[in-house]
Amino acid sequence: MKLKFWGVRGSIATPGPTTVKYGGNTTCIEIRTDENDLIILDAGTGLFQLALTLFPELPLTCHLFITHTHWDHIQGLPFFIPSFIPGNILKIHGAYDPIARRDIREILSGQLQYCYFPVREAELRSKLEYITLKERQTIEIGSTTVTNILMNHPVLSFGYRIESHGKSIFFTGDHEPLFNIYEPADDEYEEYNQFMIQKNQSILEFIRGVEILIADTSYTLEDYPLKKGWGHSTFDNNIALAKAAGVKKLFFTHHEPTRSDDALERAFHEALERNPRQPGDPEYLLAMEGLVVEL
């Protein structure tokens, strides 16, 4: 397998001179299987740049997996050029929203209303297929499998494990380790504490042993107290997760949009100083737009 980062910022695209090195586009990751099947994780603004590279392959079949439907993870979808061209097939996978009671098609179709975008879904010329996923459902794409697990974020959100020919990748999407929302004196505290421990452990076991972990790392230890409950993690939490899960490489992504490249590197190096690598620990890297990694 081979992966390429097309967008690594979180919340909002941040083009400009202070984000040139790591990139200003929001989340989008391209994965190519050994058979050259195209899998895309999330449809942030980086999806447009990916689309521009696909013309030599048309007509194509694209398998898009949406972690969740917050705008920074879907904004690029109306601009995915192959969806305008006959002969292409776009298979879009994502979660049902139990609050709004809408499936993945109903949610994403909202972007293609005239008040938001000049082209309606009915006017797209490619074949769109929507697959609303259940938790732990596995999708087979040739010899590759993509399996999801429910993560912790303020909307129903999936992390995805991709496995092919003995190689594996896990992408958290947006995720915050569960913490107890009750006070110790509350009646619900102990019951929720057991749920929290079990859920965090189930995610760890789901990730265990992957070659590459790509993890939402929006915050530093200094940021986190003011943003607890917002659904994002820290450098230190993800280092602990990667060590416990026995992964080989950890890529920090979903970079805080107000953090310049220089500030991002400072935060990264400070985290490594607090968590020096020991023999057998994962390799730690900052996700960078345009970076290609082969497994």
> pLDDT tens for residues 193-243?
999 999 999 999 999 999 999 999 999 999 999 999 999 999 999 999 999
Helices 189-207 & 235-245, crossing angle to 10 degrees? 60
Query: Which tens digit of pLDDT belongs to each residue from 141-179?
Result: 999 999 999 999 999 999 999 999 999 999 999 999 999
Q: Measuring CA to CA, which residue among 207, 257, 266 is closest to residue 232?
A: 257
Question: Average pLDDT of the chain?
Answer: 96
Q: Are 285 and 253 within 8 A, CB to CB?
A: no
What does the pLDDT average to over 261-274? Answer: 98
- What per-residue confidence (pLDDT) applies to 157? 96
What does the pLDDT average to over 35-62? Answer: 97
Sign, CA torsion 17/19/24/28: positive
What does the pLDDT average to over 178-197? Answer: 95
- What per-residue confidence (pLDDT) applies to 162? 98
Q: Are 253 and 215 within 8 A, CB to CB?
A: yes
What does the pLDDT average to over 27-52? Answer: 98
- Count of domains for the chain: 1
Q: How confident is the model at residue 21 (pLDDT cuts 50, 70, 90)?
A: very high
Query: Which tens digit of pLDDT belongs to each residue from 63-80?
Result: 999 999 999 999 999 999
Amino acid found at 2 = K
- What per-residue confidence (pLDDT) applies to 113? 84
Domain that holds residue 168: 2-294
Q: How confident is the model at residue 109 (pLDDT cuts 50, 70, 90)?
A: confident
- What per-residue confidence (pLDDT) applies to 114? 82
* Spatial separation of the C-alpha atoms in residues 106 and 109, rounded to whole Å: 5
The encoded tokens of residue 254 equal: 């979903």
Q: Is the pTM of this model over 0.75?
A: yes
What does the pLDDT average to over 42-61? Answer: 97
* Spatial separation of the C-alpha atoms in residues 101 and 257, rounded to whole Å: 31
Which CATH number is 217's domain given? 3.60.15.10
* Spatial separation of the C-alpha atoms in residues 86 and 77, rounded to whole Å: 17
User: What percent of the chain clears pLDDT 90, i.e. is strictly above it?
Assistant: 92
- What per-residue confidence (pLDDT) applies to 73? 98
Flag the least confident range among 1-10, 29-38, 93-102, 164-173: 93-102
